[in-house]
Structure 1
Amino acid sequence: MNDAAKELLPADVEPRWQHGESVLISERSYAAHRVDHGSGEVTWWLLDDTDLRLQQNRAELLARMSNALMTSLNPERCMSVVAELAATHLADEVLVIAPGTTEGHAVTRCRRGEQPTHELLRVDVEEVVGLSEALKGFPPVPSRWIDPAAAPAWLAHDVSSIVVTPLPGHGVPAGALILMRRDGRFDEDEESFARLFASRAGVAMSAAWLFTQQAVITERLTMDLLPPLLRRYEHVDLAGRYRAAQDTERVGGDFYDVHEREDGELFVVLGDVCGKGLDAAVQTGRVRTTVHALLPVVADHDQLLRSLNQALLTSDRTRFITVVVATVTPREDGLHVRLTSGGHPPALIVRADGGVEAAKTRGTLVGILPEIVTTTDEVVLAPGDSCLLHTDGITEAVGGPLGDEEFGEQRLLRALGECRGMPAEALAEHVHMLASQWIGEGTHDDMAVVAITAPRRR
């Protein structure tokens, strides 16, 4: 080395570069490249690769950050990850602020080396220059650099530099990232890197918000499609059970409803839409809504089923259904029940002495032919008697010892003969349990049962 090189380079630098290591000189990184000459001499070129290494390190850091950001679709957890990563790699203190709701702004705060904290703040975002624009997804204006002296107390204190950066999401603003340092300022390179991080953080946060919003919508829609919880009535004992075809799903094509008329009568409807899964569940929603709308204007079962048939025929995406309707009227001697079937398995009457009989009602499938034909049966349930409405998912359940036999009507009738005197809740649960045990781990159709029992007199 010449005298200039000796003055510039540390004494121990040569052994390091000869082993292919980069050397650090005055906070700059240099890569050593060897050139061999024919004379046996060697020339070493030291090339400044500081910026290249910085970009490589930041790219690796961004990749690790992206992986960490995608570990959760819980919005609060995602905000925690964003705040913790930013506090570790970008700033001394970080605030992640979500877009406002009627309740305020969700805020996650994190100081370097500490755990993130969450709070819901009712604050005026206009107090912070550029924050309202950032929360809308736009770059902060007029300046990204905020005067710490002008920052409100809820934002920060004892800091020397503040930067506001938007968190852009999937076409929607995900919030804002506020970076703070206690000593020194952010340079342009650091602010640029913070924007790269914010763009990835915003995508992760918006994905979490959208997933949560979709989950809430799905839950609310699902609750509307599920059969209702049946309430207790003074003179009528009612119970229902439902199981969708796929245990991973909550809704399907079977349904039941109970409507109370002004005169005290109960109108019970149980049905089975052709098909399974979400499409069939959507159709059950339409059928249930149609029945609810028709009840105040129809006079009898036949008129109701005819009107329902016409409504389904005029729908663009109709599936035919089978349905059984029952009108339950309390009497001195028990319950008077009128039953009408539209292509559905007949209701089963379970007497208090153990006798079981099928109601004498039958009819045409609903929603497939221009005209339907139905017959109505009337039965009296004495105290302790029950009427069981069920879908074919019970009788056609395949399982048993070899896993290939239907549960069948005869097996159901024998089982009901052993249920004499059971209250409605126990009867519905027993039938549902028998079918489930018969199926075991096998596949099955949707299943629904409703038990109507005349309470015993005390």
Structure 2
Amino acid sequence: MASSPGGSAPTNHPATGFAFATAPCPVLVVDPHGSLSLVNQAATRLFPDAHIGAVLTSAVPLWLAAAHRRVEAGGAAGPSGGTGAGPPLDPAGGRVGARSFEAHPALLDDGDIAWWFVDDTEMRLAKDELALERSRTAFLGQASNALLSSLNVDRCMSVTAQLAAEHLADAAVVIGPVTGRATPVVSCRRGHRPEGTRVNVDPARVPGLAEALQGFPPVPSRWVDPAAAPDWLVPEGFGTVGSMVVTPLPGHGVPAGALVLLRYSDEAAFTDNEEVFARLFAARSGAALSAARLYAEQSSITETLMRELLPPVLRQIDGVEFAGGYRPSGEGDRIGGDFYDVHAAPVPAEGAESFVVLGDVCGKGLDAAVLTGKIRNTLHALLPMAPDHQRMLRLLNGALLNSHHTRFATLVLASASRKDGKVVLRLTSAGHPPPLVVRADGQVEEVETRGTLVGALVEVESVTVRTVLGPGETCVLFTDGFTEARGGPLGREQFGDARLRRALAECAGMAAAAVVERLQMLAAQWIGTGRHDDMAVVAITAPRTNHLSAVGGHGPGRYTA
């Protein structure tokens, strides 16, 4: 037996016992019977019930007692005797009071087990904080991906409410900016699906909500007295609210909404750290909602403008068949530099002329489409002068020269009227490929009209040519996107004029819509997956038989300006 500070240690090695007893860290030595054979001063301060002779399990926390039993079970099969301590064993860890400790066991040569303790509270707190920050960073990244995966406002609000309910609180309510009299609201409880509605409420009745909905600059979060919260702010079936906080959703300089977080009454209120994290999430949600609303507004504006720029659907007008087709150069485009329009005669009557225009603006895409819109609107304003093609072209040319556009355009104008079962055409080209007429016998004739393009020269010149279509005959107006389309076996050969004429010869006697569909199909087969320019075509056909029409000679599908 050897005596040492802190108690008596029944060990055959006084030096080892003295080292344990004088160690600055807490040390306990347990004999094979489970009693303490050494307790140093640091261990006495840590474990007030620990003293020599006491049973370990009655003096230490449960996690240490369980760890000691595991060491005993593992050490019983190992060697005993010899000198010095045994091999290092796996440490255990747990809390002692308010502190956290790592306990390291060692088998002594006399069969005792020594435990020495290291205070790792600060290290564990740092690790926990690091793990928490990593998990929060991962969550914010996943939230950003989920929020930005859709530019639909309702979906963004639903995703925001669901993510907040699952990760930030027991329930969440997302409130959008007030639009008119109704306020969009999406609420979600943890483990449930989001539910959206629109309510007629006064945000000023909820403290901090009106300020949060004002948008930019964002205001701090505001606590709300749960007892004063209106019913619409608490999700149905939630129960008693213990704490509630309103956090603004800051957008890109525009109101994005507000986020309300709720917790049950039996849970702790939101901490400052949780509020900061909620604001980080709200910033990402607000940015996504703002982007979605901006996209919705831009889409609405674009759709409105697009309707004005898209080519019209053509039908029979005053006994004359019209059909049109358009294919933009880009696969995802809907508009471009080619266009066509058909305007019915102001007063339907025998011999009244419908006005047709088909054009090709230099360039492609949106910039070209903007100019096509201007040309179409200008020609629409000049319709009272439609009988005089040359005058219309001169006025249009002047309008283009006086604009900021530097592009030019080629056009072909046509005036069509029905008389004695035939269709009389007046055709005028302005730098455009001449129209082709498909006769009843399959012959294809070129209309010998010519002229200078518009928007480039101060003076424009043109020649108007008159032609007559018999029943079943068709006049085709087209852009050079057809003839210059490259494809074929090697993908480099142009479709060309000759191939176009042969295709039209096969369309003798067809209706206008069938002629257009045939040309578009052949061009698509020729191009394949290759690149091409905008392609537009209009077919004007004299019907083979007289069709019943509504009062005034207009069929049910009549296109009006």
**Normalization by structure 1: what TM-score?**
0.90
1:31-51 deviation digits (Å, cap 9, x = unpaired) = 899xxxxxxx98834342566
Distance 2:182 2:98 in 1: 46
Residue 409, structure 1, aligned to residue 450, structure 2: no
SS at match of 1:452: strand
Distance 1:306 1:22 in 2: 93
Distance 1:128 1:283 in 2: 51
Q: Is the contact between residue 479 and residue 537 of structure 2 (CA under 8 Å) also seen in structure 1?
A: yes
Q: Which of the residues 147, 152, 156 maps onto 1:78? A: 156
Alignment map for 1:328-343 (pairs within 5 Å): 328-343=416-431
Alignment correspondent of 1:178: 260
Q: Which of the residues 119, 122, 145 maps onto 1:48? A: 122
Q: Is the contact between residue 325 and residue 340 of structure 1 (CA under 8 Å) also seen in structure 2?
A: yes
Post-superposition shift, 1:208? 2.3
Distance 1:334 1:432 in 2: 26
Q: Which of the residues 294, 301, 326 maps onto 1:242? A: 326
SS at match of 2:300: helix
Q: Which of the residues 199, 202, 216 maps onto 1:124? A: 202
Q: Which of the residues 143, 164, 170 maps onto 1:68? A: 143
Distance 1:281 1:273 in 2: 8
Q: Is the contact between residue 139 and residue 165 of structure 1 (CA under 8 Å) also seen in structure 2?
A: no
Alignment map for 1:266-285 (pairs within 5 Å): 266-285=354-373
- Matched to 2:345, the amino acid is R
Q: Is the contact between residue 93 and residue 100 of structure 2 (CA under 8 Å) also seen in structure 1?
A: yes
Distance 2:116 2:496 in 1: 93
Distance 1:27 1:132 in 2: 43
Alignment correspondent of 2:488: 400
1:31-85 deviation digits (Å, cap 9, x = unpaired) = 899xxxxxxx988343425664336514531432333333322222222221112
Q: Is the contact between residue 63 and residue 94 of structure 2 (CA under 8 Å) also seen in structure 1?
A: no
Distance 1:136 1:31 in 2: 52
- Matched to 1:98, the amino acid is G
SS at match of 2:384: coil
Q: Is the contact between residue 252 and residue 276 of structure 1 (CA under 8 Å) also seen in structure 2?
A: yes
Distance 1:28 1:218 in 2: 63
Q: Is the contact between residue 62 and residue 197 of structure 1 (CA under 8 Å) also seen in structure 2?
A: no
1:288-308 deviation digits (Å, cap 9, x = unpaired) = 111112223565100011111
1:323-357 deviation digits (Å, cap 9, x = unpaired) = 00001112123111110000001111111222211
Post-superposition shift, 1:7? 4.6
Post-superposition shift, 1:313? 1.3
Distance 1:329 1:27 in 2: 98
SS at match of 1:296: helix
Pair 1:401–1:10, CA change in 2 (3 A) = same
Pair 1:190–1:7, CA change in 2 (3 A) = farther
Q: Which of the residues 186, 190, 210 maps onto 1:108? A: 186
Pair 1:310–1:20, CA change in 2 (3 A) = farther
Distance 1:139 1:25 in 2: 44
1:160-193 deviation digits (Å, cap 9, x = unpaired) = 2211111101222211001111214323332232
SS at match of 2:472: coil
Alignment correspondent of 1:311: 399
Displacement over 3 Å in runs of 4+: 7-16, 18-33, 41-45, 49-52, 138-141
Distance 2:529 2:473 in 1: 33
SS at match of 1:457: coil
Q: Which of the residues 57, 66, 82 maps onto 2:132? A: 57
**Normalization by structure 2: what TM-score?**
0.74
Distance 1:30 1:172 in 2: 51
SS at match of 2:432: coil
Residues matched between the structures, number: 450
Alignment correspondent of 2:225: 147
Distance 1:5 1:370 in 2: 101
Structure with the bigger RCO (C-alpha within 8 Å, sep 6+) is 1
- Residues 343-352 or 129-138, more deviating: 129-138
Residue 5, structure 1, aligned to residue 79, structure 2: no
Alignment map for 1:304-453 (pairs within 5 Å): 304-453=392-541
1:376-432 deviation digits (Å, cap 9, x = unpaired) = 001111221111000001111111122221111111111111111111110111111
SS at match of 1:222: helix
* Greater Rg by CA: 2
RMSD: 2.7
Q: Is the contact between residue 340 and residue 362 of structure 1 (CA under 8 Å) also seen in structure 2?
A: yes
Pair 1:88–1:22, CA change in 2 (3 A) = farther
Residue 194, structure 1, aligned to residue 278, structure 2: yes
Distance 1:447 1:32 in 2: 81
Return 5+ residue gaps in structure 1 as ranges: 34-40
Percent same amino acid at aligned positions? 52
SS at match of 2:374: helix
